[in-house]
């Protein structure tokens, strides 16, 4: 996954059971998704290393699988994750480019879509080789997407 599209780590992934939502252990607010740089893959932005999901959400608008796990429902089955209420996800923000990777390192035009709408211009940047992080505001909340510079 690190060598492919790391935006996928943060995309909503929902599982339901008896009208409730199941949350994976890595969606817990105190879970640290990236305790160290992965080996054998493009380096993640160093600002991500060692942060909890709660810190990632507050700063970058990101959490594993799109949302933090809520408190477990009373009497919920015992699992390695959490059974909680059904989540309300924020707007879906995606790259507007046809690919998450590019070899255009100079004057890259960052564009994104909100809920599949028209492309929004996020500015022009010079990229580095590796993962480039773009944090911007949508409806008053921080949002972050990544582009892999080749």
| Residue for token pair 């780590």 | 9
Residue-wise pLDDT tens digits, 120-141: 999 999 999 988 999 999 989 9
Give the per-residue pLDDT at 76. 76
Which has more pLDDT, 150 or 78? 150
pLDDT band at 2 (very low <50, low <70, confident <90, very high): very low
pLDDT of 1 higher than 70: no
Averaged pLDDT, 9-25: 87
How far apart are the C-alpha atoms of 104 and 94, rounded to whole Å?
Answer: 19
Q: What's the predicted TM-score (pTM) here?
A: 0.80
Answer for the pair 96, 121: CB distance below 8 angstroms, yes or no.
Answer: no
- Report d(CA 69, CA 57) in Å as an integer: 12
With a cut of 80, say whether residue 106 has pLDDT above it.
yes
Check pLDDT > 60 for residue 142.
Answer: yes
Q: Name the residue ranges covered by the structural domains of the chain.
A: 6-149
Which carries the bigger pLDDT value, residue 60 or residue 71? 60
**Rounded CA separation 44/38 (Å):** 8
Residue 113 host element (H or E): strand 108-114
Note the pLDDT of residue 123: 92
Give the span between the Cα atoms of 108 and 149, in whole angstroms: 10
């Amino acid at each position: 996954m690190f060598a492919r599209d790391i935006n996928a780590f943060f995309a909503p992934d929902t599982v339901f059971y008896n009208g409730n939502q199941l949350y994976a252990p890595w969606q817990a607010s105190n879970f640290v998704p990236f305790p160290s740089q992965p080996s054998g893959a493009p380096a993640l932005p160093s600002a991500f290393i060692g942060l909890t999901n709660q810190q990632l959400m507050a700063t970058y608008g990101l959490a594993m699988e799109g949302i933090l796990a809520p408190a477990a429902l009373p009497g919920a089955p015992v699992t390695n994750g959490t059974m909680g209420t059904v989540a309300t996800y924020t707007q879906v923000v995606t790259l507007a480019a046809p690919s998450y990777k590019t070899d255009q390192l100079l004057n890259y035009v960052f564009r994104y879509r909100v809920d599949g709408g028209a492309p929004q211009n996020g500015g022009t940047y010079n990229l580095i080789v590796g993962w480039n992080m773009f944090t911007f505001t949508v409806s008053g909340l921080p949002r972050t997407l990544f582009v892999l510079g080749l």
